[in-house]
Structure 1
Amino acid sequence: MAAADARDRAWWETAVLYQIYPLTFADGDGNGVGDIPGIIERLDYLNNPEDDSACLGVDALWLSPVNKSPMKDNGYDVSDYCDVDPTFGTLDDFKALVQASHDRNIKVIMDLVINHTSSEHDWFLESSSSRKNPKSDWYIWRDPGYTGKEPNNWLSYFGGTAWTFCETRQQYYYHAFNKNQPDLNWRNPKVRKAIHDVVRFWLDIGVDGFRLDASSVYAKDKYCRDNPMKFGANHTNPYNNQHHLYDKDLPENHAIIRDIRKILDKYGDRLLIGETFIDSRLYDSASFYGIDNDELHLPFTFEFPFSPWYPGYLQREIQKKEILTPPGCWPAYFLDNHDIPRHLVRWNECSLCNDSQQIARAAATLLLTLRGTPVLYYGQELGMIDHDSIPPERLRDAVFEPTKDENDLETRDGVRTPMQWDSGLHAGFCHNPDAELWLPINPNYTEVNVASELADPKSVLSFYRSLLRIRKYQSKALRFGEWRTLIDYPYEHLAYVRQWEDETVLVMVNFANAEQSCHLDVNIDRQNWTVLLTNKNDLKSGEVIDVPASFKPFDILILQKFGHAM
């Protein structure tokens, strides 16, 4: 458990971040595709300082890429770092978004995809044109291996070999992901300078930080040595049969991130997030804070969102993060993003609850009461779930290798469907009745949508809104207090406290579809706690109660006390 401290707090330590997938958040021009003008139109939903009655109340938005792109990986294949793709609008539209967001006290975080570019980027077109051009060494090129084929055994995260042959150069180029996403050569100082110029370009426009995509794979072994195979490897996914010693998580990766952090630090209080994934171990992810907190402000790790719906496992991951987060650093938590199934789908499958709204409230409680910066994924606050029946001809994302046959492609489109604003035409995402939407809307939009849930005080959205306001206005302990478990080993419930100065917040969540005794292994004063929030019908916020001896099925209690509690 990291001790609380009295240092000045950066804005992102007490903020709640909200990820927007621009293609499907809001369509402003009526062509069926989400865009920047559409996001601007919906900013009052995210935060509205002048009218709090219908807004969510988040502090920052994180945009998946809006850079110019051929869209073969939905924007994660950038062809021009310093321009906006016409799909989303113009650079002036983006500047207007930054200004409109700042007017509403919303920070703007950009996705920065700098491990690779699109194969249609001018840099790669020049690099691939010959072995002697000025950008010849801007990407990772190698001669064929001793068998006349690939230079080594490195594999793409999307399936198959990570090497593609270029007839013009008679060499292979490396791509950690799809073949249309060649990896930049970060050992080349000119590449570093070019990317640093990109970072400054967007900071000068006014963005408040970046989320570094795939930030654990920038550096590769300069000798391109084969990855060793795991003992007894028999995983159905060949990628997982290798020890990835030479194609990711190299020590040189930290220097790359440190240099980017130095640029941000010169611009003041800007935020640097990193996606430390592709099987990076938690220890490795924690190391991305840097030796002296000089790398990422917030490493995004995947152990917590990938936890099963079981209190013991979740508590273990929380305690790991508490132990491994260095002093003076700050954790981050998320449950969903654009790459993974939504948590209600994952946790519904492994729970006995069969009530997604109960799980949604429990998930909100965990996410917004743990010590760290929470990140929401658009629609999570509504209880949106994956659309699992998108017709094959409507799929937009099919970057993975076939799993069974050429018609069976893994896709992430189910978690990227349009935001469900209301029960009307196109769920309020697009107002043109004749438009074909980027992706079809989940059929449950008539019930799961912003308008209907704002009107329902017992909805998932209302629960999120209440908890966000408690966190922001009623409890310093929830914003930056220390975390402490009250159960050595959870049975079917979690119980922990957040403590700051003389304030203690007690959080209890029953995971079971049965009444449970309230086990608290630590001595705690059970009397005279004020209810901050609950899903119990027989209690109201503001009531003063004693800590109950038992839980009813799926009970949630968030209690507050000032003065002696432990």
Structure 2
Amino acid sequence: MSKAPIVSNTQDKDWWRGAVIYQIYPRSYQDSNGDGIGDLLGIVQRLPYIASLGVDAIWISPFFTSPMKDFGYDVSDYCDVDPMFGSLADFDAVIETAHSLGIRVMIDLVLSHTSDVHPWFVESRQSRDNDKADWYVWSDPKPDGTAPNNWLSIFGGSAWQWDARREQYYLHNFLVSQPDLNFHNPKVQEALLDVGRFWLNRGVDGFRLDTINFYMHDEQLRDNPPLPKEMRNATIAPSVNPYNHQEHLYDKNHPKNLDFLRKLRAVMEPFGAAAVGEVGDAQRGLEIMGQYTRGNDVMQMCYAFELLSGARPSAQYVADVMSKVDEVAADGWACWAYSNHDVVRHVTRWGLTPAASRLFTTMMMCLRGSVCIYQGEELGLPEADVAFEDLQDPYGIEFWPEFKGRDGCRTPMVWEQDNSSGGFTNGKPWLPVSSEHLGLSVEPQEKDPAGLIHHYRKAIAFRHAHEALKSGASTPLEVNGDIVSFTRSAGDTTIYCAFNMSDTPSDLAAPSGEWLPIGGELGGAHVAPDGVLHLGPWQPYIALKRT
């Protein structure tokens, strides 16, 4: 295979700033061997398609050896590929092919916890005095035999599980089968840094860091205080989950976590690698994002859940979020996403029309920060309706029917219309393919000039064409009714952006000065002879300042 040149990460350590990252959920992207489960060679097969979108990098969700109780987010071997996804040689083919196409590769590292069948935990639970006895978070019970404190699991119930061999409880912020590692142990930190080194030496360009703010716990195991009802929200856990009833002061967000992140950044630095951290916190997500990305010695990017929200963002909401970022994370760097493998697809979540989908896509490509898009988002896929008997996600099974879990956003990618599995597999897909998705698959959209996929390509190309949109400064967002507006600038270039975030026409006084409308390919408006911007429903106006 001939290799096209790719800019060296070490020569361009800021490659991540303003990058567009395409998330692949490997189980559901492309099956290459007919077993109904997507795999690494399937990704290799589809990399030319991904390159055609114009993205800078891919983020591959976990493919490590795992019992798959949480579909790879329960790792039993950090340095190998689960056979269902292929082999290390297949992963090498992903790296080689992606790099030949000018695409960087980021992988999902799950460092806060392992599977309970990981050899580290198997050894740790055997006794209180073995070499890995304190590699996980163990605690004696209270005198009455109950759990050490009131911490709750995101997946429901207590975050503590009794282990009869040690006659102690172990901490699990997620499934019982996902025990939390003890980051207060330097040996644990070094072992995890070695995991990073392994994959960096194998050629990866960076990491997505799962639950980055969960790494460290309060060593005193203090109870979390209750959270007043008016402060609760369902940003990171469904409203039916009692996890929302606590203020999570002590089970995560530990100040010493920054020390570990600095060590990880030092490991990454010689490779020019970058990381994007997932900040799971319903009250302080943006603040933590600022802490974790401020300066040049911690993480490059983080994403919180403000634009993964349930209610459709209004102009005022977007302005408020960006204002909060300016307040608590002005020196940091956000990575924005509307959809991913953990939330209802945003077309359904926000009830978007095709016009609204285009507007939100264009706006995301103009906001300050980097961008993650999730496989199938470029097709406008709605959330799939998965019957209870077909559910695979333990989260959905636990809270059904009030919360149906995450399977609806994880159904297979659709490539062909005239195929019951959408061209994903020759076998029976691990989750059923939605019939509603088939008409939105890649093949018919490529042939349709109005297909959303073409808008994504145009919006990504537009972002890349203007350094001000990729990495430039931003003015505070202004709101006029349903219109949000701001400028981005870099060097001697200034770009004005206005977005009508409603299904009714809205007017706005044109910005003062000489402006050249750009972005016509994105459906942008022009200034009317009366000097007013007449924005149609879900219409942008983007203009370049004349110099």
Question: When the two structures are superposed, what TM-score results if normalisation uses the length of structure 1?
Answer: 0.88
Q: Is the 8 A contact 1:123 1:135 kept in 2?
A: yes
What is the deviation of 1:226?
Answer: 1.5
The gaps in structure 1 that reach 5 residues or longer are 1-6, 48-54, 349-354
1:471 maps to which residue? Answer: 463
Q: Identify if the C-alpha distance between structure 1 residues 145 and 400 changes in structure 2 by more than 3 Å, giving closer, same or farther.
A: farther
Partner of 1:192: 189
Question: Which residue in 2 is equivalent to 1:437?
Answer: 429
Q: Report how far residue 124 of structure 1 moved.
A: 0.7
User: Secondary structure of 1:146's partner?
Assistant: coil
Q: What secondary structure does 1:425 align onto? A: coil
Cα pair 2:224 2:247 within 8 Å, conserved: yes
| Structure 1 position 417 matched with structure 2 position 411 | yes
- The CA distance in 1 between the partners of 2:456 and 2:71, in whole Å, is 29
User: Residue by residue, what CA displacement relative to the aligned partner does 1:401-430 show, whole Å, maximum 9, x if unpaired?
Assistant: 7337xx876410001111111202245443
Aligned to 2:391: 395
Map of 2:306 onto structure 1: 303
Whole-Å separation in 2 of the counterparts to 1:72 and 1:531? 46
Moved over 4 A (4+): 231-236, 543-548
Following the alignment from structure 1 to structure 2, what is the Cα–Cα distance between the partners of residues 529 and 477? 15
Q: CA deviation at 1:40?
A: 0.1
* Alignment correspondent of 2:542: 558
User: Quick one: which amino acid aligns to residue 242 of structure 1?
Assistant: Q
Q: What SS does the aligned partner of 2:155 have?
A: coil
User: Is 1:60 aligned with 2:57?
Assistant: yes
| In structure 2, C-alpha distance between the alignment counterparts of 1:232 and 1:335, rounded to whole Å | 26
Partners of 2:473 and 2:463 lie apart in 1 by 14
Corresponding residue of 1:134: 131
- More moved, 143-152 vs 550-559: 550-559
Is the Cα–Cα contact under 8 Å of residues 183 and 215 in structure 2 kept in the other structure?
Answer: yes
Distance 1:212 1:232, change over 3 A: closer
Encode CA deviations 1:317-369: one digit per residue, 9 max, x unaligned. 12222343344x43321111111111111211xxxxxx521121011011111
Match of 1:204 among 196, 201, 206: 201
Please say if residues 531 and 545 of structure 1, whose CA atoms lie closer than 8 Å, have aligned partners that are also in contact: no
- Which amino acid in structure 1 is aligned with residue 88 of structure 2? L
1:514 aligns with 2:504: yes
For residues 270 and 97 of structure 1, do their structure 2 counterparts lie closer, same or farther at Cα, with a shift above 3 Å needed? same
What SS does the corresponding residue of 2:308 show, helix, strand or coil? coil
Q: What's the % identity of the aligned pairs?
A: 38
Q: Select which of 450, 474, 487 maps to 1:483.
A: 474
> 1:504 maps to which residue?
494
Aligned equivalents of 1:234, 1:366: Cα separation in 2:
29
* TM value normalised by structure 2: 0.91
Q: How far apart in 2 are the matches of 1:230 and 1:478?
A: 39
Of 142, 146, 149, which residue of structure 1 is paired with 2:143?
146
- Secondary structure of 1:512's match? coil
SS of aligned partner of 1:210: strand
CA distance in 2: counterparts of 1:87 and 1:503, whole angstroms:
49
Q: Which amino acid aligns with 2:333?
A: W
**1:362–1:509 contact (8 Å) kept in structure 2:** yes
Cα RMSD, aligned residues only: 2.4
1:387 Cα deviation (Å)?
0.4
8 Å CA contact 1:529–1:544 kept in 2: the answer is no
Q: Offset of 1:545 from its aligned partner?
A: 9.0
Equivalences for residues 279-358 of structure 1 within 5 A: 279=282, 281=284, 282-290=286-294, 292-306=295-309, 308-327=312-331, 329-348=332-351, 356-358=353-355
Quick one: which amino acid aligns to residue 552 of structure 1? G
Structure 2 residue ranges without an equivalent (≥5): 1-10, 233-239
Whole-angstrom distance in 1 between the partners of 2:157 and 2:442: 41
Distance 1:545 1:471, change over 3 A: farther
Structure 2 Cα separation of the partners of residues 400 and 127 of structure 1: 30
Residue 276 of structure 1 and its aligned partner are, at CA, apart by 1.0
Q: Structure 1 241/431 Cα, relative in aligned 2: closer, same or farther at 3 Å?
A: closer
Question: Residue type of the partner of 1:82?
Answer: C
Q: Is the 8 A contact 1:535 1:555 kept in 2?
A: yes
Q: CA, structure 1 residues 189+408, in 2 after alignment: closer, same or farther (shift >3 Å)? A: same
CA 1:428–1:403: 2 relative to 1, 3 Å: closer
CA change 1:455–1:298 in 2 (3 A) is same
Q: What is the CA-CA distance between 1:532 and the residue it aligns to?
A: 3.9
Q: How do 1:171-182 and structure 2 match up within 5 A?
A: 171-182=168-179
Distance 2:12 2:36 in 1: 45
Q: Cα 1:516–1:231, aligned 2, differ >3 Å: closer, same or farther?
A: closer
- Partner amino acid for 1:63? I
